[in-house]
């Protein structure tokens, strides 16, 4: 980068704020991290109390790795996610290995990642509560990162997460939490605005019973007991904006 980490991150954020769709945000961020040896990343929010509620705003992974990660259930033994409760500062996979805090499953997961060609990663955690963490996780083959490079990447990651989360309710999630469908998310947005089943049905051109079913399905998937709790969880995951 040409200036200080803070100045470069400020310039990146100015460019990012002009974008209104997640695909363009992903493209800009990909170009920003490429000079440092990172070629893939993921941006989202993790619910440690129920990993099914994890929301991914952007998944910039090769299709083969994405299919393997979710198909093999790696999210349940991802050492990056396991490390989040103990982390408030950005960290690398090398940090996790060096500190010797990896469980066997975590070591195996990192070995699998290495087999796909990525030698290290940089993770920027964003605590959102005792059990919820935003994160931007970079994958690649980086050389040793200077303090300035690491600072820029972390600041840019924070900017990306903030903007992507704000755009998520009006964009398509890369992977919606708990497998919520587009229609279920649409109904939750209307519930958050105080609409009844009948008024939701009128707004969407569907039967009131169908609108009710969509909300109930969302409750079941998010494992909540009331509409109020469902909306609270949906807001926390960026499904519904306030």
Q: What is the pLDDT of residue 125?
A: 96
DSSP 166-191: HHGGGS--SB-GGG--HHHHHHHHHH
DSSP label at residue 126: E
Query: What average pLDDT does range 25-40 have in this prediction?
Result: 97
Q: Could you name the CATH architecture of 180-236?
A: Orthogonal Bundle (1.10)
Chain centre to alpha carbon of residue 215: 23
Rg of the chain over CA atoms, in angstroms? 19
The rounded distance, in Å, linking the Cα atoms of 47 and 242 is: 19
Write out pLDDT tens, residues 54-67: 889 999 999 888 88
Q: What is the pLDDT of residue 202?
A: 95
Q: What is the pLDDT of residue 163?
A: 96
DSSP label at residue 238: T
CATH number of this structure's domain 5-170, picked from the four choices 3.30.930.10, 3.30.450.80, 3.30.70.600, 3.10.105.10: 3.30.450.80
Lowest mean pLDDT among 32-46, 79-93, 106-120, 137-151: 106-120
Break the chain into its structural domains and give their ranges.
5-170, 180-236
Q: What distances in angstroms separate CA 71 from CA 39, 66, 67, 117, 233, one per listed residue?
A: 22, 8, 6, 19, 25
- Where does the pLDDT of residue 3 fall: very low under 50, low under 70, confident under 90, or very high at 90 and above? low
Q: Report the mean per-residue pLDDT for the chain.
A: 90
The pLDDT > 70 percentage for the chain reads 98
Task: Looking at mean pLDDT, say which of 45-49, 75-79, 112-116, 198-202 comes out highest.
Answer: 198-202
Query: What average pLDDT does range 105-110 have in this prediction?
Result: 81
């Amino acid at each position: 980068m040409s200036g200080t980490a803070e100045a470069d991150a400020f310039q990146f954020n100015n460019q990012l704020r002009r974008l209104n769709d997640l695909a363009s945000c992903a493209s800009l961020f990909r170009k920003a991290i490429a000079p440092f040896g990172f070629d893939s990343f993921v941006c989202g929010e993790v619910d440690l109390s129920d990993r099914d509620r994890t929301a991914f705003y952007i998944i910039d992974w090769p299709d083969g790795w994405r299919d393997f990660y979710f198909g093999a259930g790696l999210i349940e033994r991802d050492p990056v996610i396991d490390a989040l409760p103990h982390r408030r500062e950005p960290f690398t996979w090398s940090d996790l290995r060096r500190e010797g805090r990896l469980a066997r499953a975590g070591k195996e997961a990192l070995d699998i990642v290495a087999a796909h060609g990525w030698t290290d990663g940089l993770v920027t955690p964003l605590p959102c509560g005792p059990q919820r963490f935003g994160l931007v996780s970079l994958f690649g083959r980086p050389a040793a990162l200077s303090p300035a490079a690491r600072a820029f990447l972390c600041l840019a990651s924070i900017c990306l997460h903030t903007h992507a989360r704000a755009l998520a309710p009006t964009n398509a999630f890369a992977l919606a939490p708990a497998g919520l469908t587009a229609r279920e998310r649409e109904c939750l947005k209307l519930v958050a605005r105080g609409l009844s089943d009948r008024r939701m049905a009128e707004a969407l051109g569907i039967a009131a019973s169908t609108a009710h079913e969509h909300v109930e399905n969302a409750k079941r998937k998010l494992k909540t007991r009331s509409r109020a709790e469902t909306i609270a969880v949906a807001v926390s995951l960026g499904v519904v904006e306030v």
